[in-house]
Chain A
Amino acid sequence: MIIIKDVDLAFGNDVLLRSGQMRIDQQIYGLVATNGSGKTTLLRTIAGLLPLKSGEIYLTADQTNERLPTLVKKKNLFYFETGEWFDGNLTAADYLKFVAKQWQGNSQLIDEAVDFWEMRPFLSRPIRKYSLGMKQKTVLALYYVANTPYWLMDEPTLGLDLDSQARFISFMKAAKQRGTSILFSSHQNDSLLSVADTFYILDKQQLVASAELPREWGERG
């Protein structure tokens, strides 16, 4: 389980979150917030990409609840924010092999991900030649080949066409069946939020958990 305890977040002088609490454990969690309220900053902080100023974020062992070392947390958690992170001179194949090796994947998972996201035609092409949708499919394939028990995803359907969005829902459901815990952010009125079991709403510097997406959030945007 990933525990987020008493976390304060700020972006420059703007306070984004005060004393945030969160637990991520074998469910799909939808993170909902207005633009600029700190969703990405929160995801980056949980992933360890931004230094934590106050509070605690840690991973506990399933059975004993013992706090695990940071490196173990990193090995069990995968976060690839956006297709912008890619080096345009490398290929999807390069990144899939790299992520599989560095996290917990293998070559069989690479083949499965490539087939699932229909990536064969562009697999060995430099990423600078990809469309936004191709990049996003590659990002999602990376999650699959990382094979970690925890996924953090920021706007994972960005740039996907309708077919791929439908495929994404089955992708998420299959991941949940395998026991993967997922925290993903999406637009407030996004139908994709239907795959979430629990919602975390980041509003007015507070993080609130809810079993259902409150109506006013569903209607906004």
Chain B
Amino acid sequence: MSYVKILLKKGYRRRSLYLVLILLVGLITLLNWNNERNATGANSLLNQTELRIKDYNGYIKQNKQIASADSPAVTNLVRQRQYLQAMVKALKKGDEQTYLTNQIALLTWQKKHTLADQLAKIVSIPGMTNTIAKMLLLAQKQAQGQTGVELEGYEVRGSTFLYRTIQLYSPVILTAVIIFVLTPLVISPYFKRLDIERGLPRPAAQKVLLRTGVSVIMGVACLLIFYLACFLVGTIRHGAGSFAYPIFVYSRDRYWLEPLWQVLAKILVLQIALIVAISASMQLIAQLTRNGFATLFLSLILIIGSYLLIDQTSTSALTPLVPTYYLGPTGVVTGTFRALTKNAQISLPGGILVNAGYSCLVLTAVWYGERRGERA
């Protein structure tokens, strides 16, 4: 049996691993239920649209007091209310495509009149035109790809719920699970405070690389289980959704939409780079502490703690040089952080480069520590 196989067995034969995975699936189910509660409750699209109709009723009433019923201002408001009423009707029928058609009509109308209409100019806030244009672009893509529409931030369908869970919860929950899974692998060379793998007839560099390779396999398995669990939980309860769902991607001064699968693929690549860095950090911690519990505890504190302490919208040029900055992968691959900080270095290649450089440095230190044993 090879060294790789025995390390893998040490990882997956642990009974507590399955308990953690069951807890993870339970937690994901709870998150989906929470999203569902929000998506169908007071914040739901239907409720929001109905509230907007009520607002419009008020505006129309006020305008009728100061102008005639056929004045342009009143006609405009009535027209917009008609679109909203059609949207509500479509939502009640569950006809999302008709909802989108009317939303597109409303936004197109608003975009056209926001600049032309004097009233709209007065009430417009900076960026309003941009917001309407963005919403229109999104609705057009959703209609075109027949991806359906969901309440932003509380998506429930398999594909979109997966994306939102990665964005909101993967930095802490998934990282904690990966650290837990990797602990027996990185502590494997040590028994109490003795380096028992020094006796293994292999060069230190090879052992370090094989251990890192196995960590990546186990870490990616965790990632895929997390992805799959999110997707399946969402799909079983609300349908699969669409992997073509449009996601906004930003550069410093412009934005566009990319299909969800493309964003997810970039996230996966960044997360694999992160797993290598996590494994390297844990191997170093294991070498210094030579204790399983201390390795687990310190890794959780240092890796997740440093992520939580980092302000990802900081304009400091040094912040993106911290590997754990990239634990929030969606903000990096969609360019949200790049746009907020006006820092072009915050990107997928930048994240890979930072994590690869960090991993090389730390693995060299681990190799140096193990190499001392080869001389004996």
Contacts and interface: CB of A to CB of B under 8 A. Distances in A.
Interface of A: 44-45, 47-52, 57, 70-71, 74-75, 77-79, 81, 84-85, 87, 89-90, 94, 97-98, 100-103, 126
Contact of B199 (A51, A79, A90): A79
Contacts of B15: 89
B1 A50 contact: no
Contact of A45 (B184, B196, B201, B376): B376
A47 B200 CA distance: 10
Nearest to A97: B1
7 contacts: A51-B375, A52-B376, A85-B196, A97-B1, A98-B1, A102-B201, A102-B202
A74 B194 contact: no
Nearest to A57: B376
Contacts of A78: 199
Contacts of B14: 89
Contacts of A70: 374-376
Contacts of B13: 87, 89-90, 126
A70 B1 CA distance: 23
B265 to A, nearest CB: 34
B9 A49 contact: no
Nearest to A89: B13
Contacts of B194: 44, 49-50
B143 to A, nearest CB: 53
A89 B10 contact: yes
A188 to B, nearest CB: 25
Interface string B275-299: 0000000000000000000000000
> Among the interface residues B14, B194, B376, which one has the most CB atoms of the partner chain A within 10 A?
B376
A150 B372 CA distance: 23
Interface of B: 1-3, 5-6, 9-10, 13-15, 184, 188, 191, 194-196, 198-203, 372-376
Contacts of A84: 191
Nearest to B17: A89
A112 B200 CA distance: 23
B373 to A, nearest CB: 6
Contacts of A52: 375-376
Given A50-B194, A89-B15, A94 B374 contact: no
A71 B374 CA distance: 7
Contacts of A48: 198-199, 373-374, 376
A74 B201 contact: yes
Contacts of B375: 51-52, 70
A100 B375 CA distance: 24
A45 B191 CA distance: 15
A74 B191 contact: no
Given A50-B376, A100-B1, 9 more contacts: A48-B199, A48-B376, A51-B372, A71-B201, A71-B202, A89-B9, A90-B9, A98-B2, A101-B2
Nearest to A47: B199
Contact of A94 (B6, B196, B198, B376): B6
A75 B201 contact: yes
Contacts of B372: 51
Nearest to A49: B198
A94 B9 contact: yes
> Among the interface residues B9, B201, B202, which one has the most CB atoms of the partner chain A within 10 A?
B201
Contacts of A45: 376
Contacts of A126: 13
Contact of A49 (B10, B201, B202, B373): B373
A90 B196 contact: no
Contacts of A98: 1-3, 5-6
Contacts of B6: 90, 94, 98
Nearest to B16: A89
Contacts of B198: 47-49
Given A70-B375, A89-B14, A102-B3, A49 B200 contact: no
A90 B376 contact: no
B374 to A, nearest CB: 5
Give the top 5 A-B pairs by smallest Cβ distance, nearest first: A97-B1, A89-B13, A74-B201, A75-B201, A48-B376
A49 B195 contact: yes
Given A49-B194, A51-B376, A89-B15, A74 B199 contact: yes
Contacts of A71: 201-203, 374
Nearest to A40: B194
A199 to B, nearest CB: 25
A75 B202 CA distance: 8
